[in-house]
Homo-oligomer: A and B are copies of this chain.
Amino acid sequence: MSRIAYFGPRGTFTEQAARRLAPDGALTPAETILAALAAVREGAADAACVPVENSVEGPVTATLDGLAEGPPLVAVAEELLPVHFSVLVRSDLADTAEIRTVASHPHALAQVRQWLAARLPNARHVAASSTAAAAVAVQRGEYDAAVTAPVAAEHYPLRELATEVADVPDARTRFVLLRPPGELPAPTGADRTSLVAAAANRTGALAELLTELAGRGINLTRLDARPTKGNFGEYRFFIDIEGHVAEPRIGDALAALRRRCDVRFLGSHPRADGVPATIQPGAENEAFERATNWVAAVRAGTLA
C-alpha cells in the first residue's frame, strides 16, 4: 500500500484530493506543505498530495517554491476540486438564530462572506488556523459554527447546516500527487507538463522562452512568476503547457528551453479536466517526426 503524505490536518480539501488521487493509499497528514514534500524526499512517504493553485486565491506559493528547490519531485496525477464549503454546527443546536460565532481559516471565510452575510448576519467571524481546526473548536464548544471542507463532516460529530456553500460558484483548487523521479504516466492526448525555468534577468528573456513554445504550437495553461529568494527583481517562471514530455513536439520544446536557461521538469500527467491538447497545423507530433526524418535523409544524401 502506498504511503501518502498530504498537507493536513485531517478533514481538509487536501485530504479529500488525496483520497481521490490515491484511493488505496495510507494517508498521513503533514503539518505544512514543505513537510509533506520532505516526507517523500526522505523516503518516509511514497508520494505527497498538495494544492498547486486556486482559481480565486492564486498560486500556492509554498508548493511552487518547495518544488523549485531541494531534491526533484514530479507530479504524476492531478485532481480539481470545486471550492464548496460545508457549514457545520453542534448537533444539539436548535435554531440558527443561536449562531453567534462562525470560525474558519481566513481564506475560507473570505470565500463565503456573501453567504454568511445573507444567512448568518449576526454571527461574528473568527479566524482559525485551518478549516479543520475550526471544526474541532466547534466540537469543543468554543464557537457555534465552522466553515469547512465537505470531508470534515466525516471526521467530526457535527451537524451539516449547509453544503456546497461558495460565493464564486466555479472556484476550483488544483492538487497534485508528487513522487520522486521515475516512470512517467503514459501520454493520453489530454496531458499537462509542468516546469520551472530560471530565465536570465534581461530584457526579452521571457518573451524568448514563450516564443520557443508558441513556435511549436504549444499552448500554455499557466504561468506564474515567483521572485527567487523572496526578493523582487529576479524571478523564476512556473510554466504549465498542454502535452506530455514523451511527445516529440514537447520534448523538442523542452530541449530548446534547456539550451536557453536552467529548467527543472516538474511532471507530465493526464489533466483532471480531460481537455485534449490544442495542436496547431504543422505542429503535430507526426510533423515533428517527418521533419526529423527528412533532416536525417538530407544528411544521409538520400534526399534534398
Contacts and interface: CB of A to CB of B under 8 A. Distances in A.
A214 to B, nearest CB: 3
A59 B227 CA distance: 11
A128 B106 CA distance: 9
Given A58-B224, A207-B213, 12 more contacts: A55-B227, A56-B61, A58-B58, A127-B128, A170-B229, A203-B214, A203-B217, A206-B220, A207-B214, A208-B214, A211-B211, A222-B232
A144 interface: no
Nearest 9 pairs between A and B by C-beta?
A204-B214, A207-B210, A207-B214, A168-B230, A127-B127, A127-B129, A58-B61, A207-B211, A55-B230
B280 A203 contact: yes
Contact of A223 (B202, B223, B278): B223
B225 A224 contact: yes
Interface residues of A, number: 50
Nearest to A80: B232
Contacts of A58: 58-59, 61, 224, 226
B55 A61 contact: no
B231 A55 contact: yes
A172 interface: yes
A44 to B, nearest CB: 21
Interface of A: 53, 55-59, 61, 80, 105-106, 125-129, 168, 170-172, 174, 202-204, 206-208, 210-211, 213-215, 217-227, 229-233, 235, 278, 280
A73 B248 CA distance: 46
A224 B227 contact: no
Contacts of A223: 206, 223, 225, 235
A256 B40 CA distance: 48
A223 B202 CA distance: 14
B230 A171 contact: yes
Given A59-B58, A224-B225, A218 B203 contact: yes
A227 to B, nearest CB: 5
Contacts of A214: 203-204, 207-208
A53 B232 CA distance: 9
Contacts of A280: 203
A202 B58 CA distance: 21
A219 B207 CA distance: 11
A274 to B, nearest CB: 13
Contact of A129 (B56, B125, B210, B227): B125
